[in-house]
């Protein structure tokens, strides 16, 4: 895989070759080079920082699905290019442009961070680049900023949080403190939870927001202890989630039930150890799902990467499945966008999470599982919300 830092030497060489071809009067059309040219897939993912593990899992999952399906897209070989998003929203548009203009990719897969997604979406709405969001849950990407060329194989932040509201009330938790990083994902997850929670009769007594990606939680944990809520609902992910769950236990707060979207434990459960016992989460995936797709997927992933698969790997895997179905329908002609988009809209994804389809706004309609850590394992308690679709408020497809 090539990493792009500004314009790579290779892409500069390519531009040179194209100019030479133009000068000789030979201008290849998009399909004159058709089946022989490689399909270019650009990853816009974090490979450094608090979300680095998430970017790696998405990349692994994506490549594994492609390899399992013959290593090609619509009969064409693939060239991967990766840009490290650094989960930095300020660099979102610039990093997207490295792939769109600098590398002229056929597809973008990414990002992880909702703030990066918002910048990316603005660029790809203009360029028309077919984009599959493999994590970032920003509601706007499949809401007011939705577009025919923008798809998602992950979730909206609302989807992973709303169902926990009723669960909390059903468990007798009436007064809850919420906490997260102050950016789109955290704020949307907390408001999603609060919507479901207040509807069911609960009350959020305090919302705490800390800057992203700070992992200095001590002062906030002291405040939570003094507030004595019935429960605590948080959105954290990656290295921050690992630290929060450990700090929560170390602060002596384990008697207060800790809840959140499943990112709180996914990919970091082992490292959290004892501290994660009892943590209650909602998510569109769980390691322990008892389906043949999930078992085969997890075994193959463990074999290929010597590590346990997690929700991020699933989302990358499913992004590839969506692309494979689209590219098969157009026989590898990535430029046949209306037909490609139509095939992707109709795709049924046989995901390790369970089969799913896409809503009109191009977001998965999916079951949200209720999970709890017991004896170091993520147990599936049940389905908290069946075939949940994001409301996609404000989405008008052009």
Radius of gyration of the chain (CA): 21
Of the ranges 12-20, 111-119, 161-169, 316-324, which one interacts with ligand PHB (CB under 6 A)? 111-119
Nearest residue (CB) to ligand PHB, 109 versus 112: 112
Q: In angstroms, rounded to a whole number, what is the distance separating the alpha carbons of residues 348 and 328?
A: 14
C-beta of 136: minimal distance to ligand PHB in Å?
Answer: 4
Q: Does 284 bind ligand PHB (CB under 6 A)?
A: no
Give 135 or 363: the residue with its C-beta nearer to ligand PHB: 135
| Span of 130-138, 246-254, 271-279, 287-295 interacting with ligand PHB by CB under 6 A | 130-138
**Distance between CA atoms of residues 92 and 123, nearest Å:** 9
Give whichever of 73 and 368 is closer to ligand PHB, judged by the CB atom: 368
- Please identify which residue in 76, 98, 113, 371 interacts with ligand PHB, judged by CB under 6 A: 113
Distance from C-alpha of 376 to C-alpha of 115, rounded to nearest angstrom: 32
Options 52, 58, 123, 136; binder of ligand PHB; rule CB under 6 A: 136
Nearest alpha carbon to residue 51 among 271, 212, 176: 212
- Closest to ligand PHB by CB, 136 vs 280, is 136
The half-sphere exposure of 235 on its side-chain side, counting CA atoms within 13 A, is: 32
CB of 114 to ligand PHB, least distance (A): 4
Letter string b/e over residues 254-278, b meaning 16 or more CB atoms within 10 A of that residue's CB: eebbbbbbbbbbbbbbeebeebbee
Shortest CB 300 distance to ligand PHB, Å: 23
Residues paired with residue 107 on neighbouring β-strands, in sequence order: 41, 130
Long-range Cβ contacts of 215-222 (<8 Å, 24+ apart): 215/50, 215/239, 215/240, 215/243, 215/244, 217/243, 217/244, 217/247, 217/248, 218/247, 218/251, 220/179, 221/247, 221/248, 221/251, 221/253, 222/251
* Separation between Cα atoms, residue 384 and residue 110, nearest integer Å: 27
Tell me if 137 contacts ligand PHB by CB under 6 A.
yes
Pick 111 or 326: Cβ nearer ligand PHB: 111
What residues numbered 174-203 form the site for ligand PHB, per CB under 6 A? Answer: 185
286 neighbors 269 (Cβ within 8 angstroms): no
Q: Give whichever of 45 and 289 is closer to ligand PHB, judged by the CB atom.
A: 45
Contact call for residue 114 and ligand PHB (CB under 6 A): yes
Q: How far is the CB of 237 from ligand PHB (least distance, A)?
A: 3
Question: Does 85 contact ligand PHB by CB under 6 A?
Answer: no
Interface with ligand PHB includes 112 (CB under 6 A)? yes
Residue from 107, 197, 217, 263 that binds ligand PHB (CB under 6 A)? 263
CB 77 within 8 A of CB 100: no
Binding site for ligand PHB (CB under 6 A): 112-114, 135-138, 157, 185, 237, 263
């Amino acid at each position: 895989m090539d990493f792009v830092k500004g314009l790579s030497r290779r892409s500069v060489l390519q531009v040179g070759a194209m100019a030479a071809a133009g000068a000789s009067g030979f201008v290849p059309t998009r399909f004159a080079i058709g089946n022989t040219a490689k399909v270019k897939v650009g990853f816009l993912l974090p490979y450094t920082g608090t979300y680095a593990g998430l970017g790696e899992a998405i990349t692994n999952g994506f490549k594994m699905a492609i390899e399992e399906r013959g290593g090609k897209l619509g009969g064409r070989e693939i060239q991967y290019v990766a840009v490290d998003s650094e989960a930095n929203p300020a660099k979102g548009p610039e990093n997207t442009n490295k792939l769109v203009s600098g590398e002229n990719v056929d597809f973008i897969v990414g990002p992880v961070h909702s703030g990066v997604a918002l910048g990316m979406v603005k660029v790809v709405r203009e360029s028309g680049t077919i984009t599959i969001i493999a994590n970032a849950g920003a509601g706007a990407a499949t809401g007011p900023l939705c577009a025919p060329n923008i798809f998602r194989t992950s979730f909206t932040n609302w989807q992973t949080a709303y169902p926990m509201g009723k669960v909390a009330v059903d468990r007798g938790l009436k007064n809850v403190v919420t906490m997260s990083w102050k950016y789109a994902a955290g704020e949307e997850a907390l408001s999603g939870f609060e919507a479901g929670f207040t509807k069911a009769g609960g009350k959020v007594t305090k919302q705490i927001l800390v800057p992203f990606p700070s992992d200095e939680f001590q002062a906030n944990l002291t405040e939570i202890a003094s507030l004595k809520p019935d429960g605590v609902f948080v959105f954290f992910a990656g290295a921050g989630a690992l630290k929060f769950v450990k700090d929560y236990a170390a602060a002596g707060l384990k008697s207060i039930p800790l809840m959140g979207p499943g990112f709180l434990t996914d990919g970091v459960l082992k490292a959290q150890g004892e501290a994660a016992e009892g943590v209650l989460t909602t998510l569109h995936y769980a390691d322990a799902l008892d389906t043949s797709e999930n078992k085969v997927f997890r075994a193959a992933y463990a074999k290929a990467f010597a590590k346990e698969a997690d929700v991020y790997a699933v989302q990358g895997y499913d992004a590839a499945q969506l692309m494979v179905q689209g590219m098969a329908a157009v026989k590898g002609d990535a430029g046949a966008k209306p037909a490609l988009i139509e095939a992707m809209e109709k795709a049924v994804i046989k995901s390790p999470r369970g089969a799913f389809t896409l809503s009109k706004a191009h977001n998965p309609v999916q079951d949200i599982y209720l999970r709890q850590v017991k004896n170091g394992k993520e147990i599936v308690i049940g389905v908290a919300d069946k075939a949940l679709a994001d409301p996609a408020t404000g989405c008008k497809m052009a």
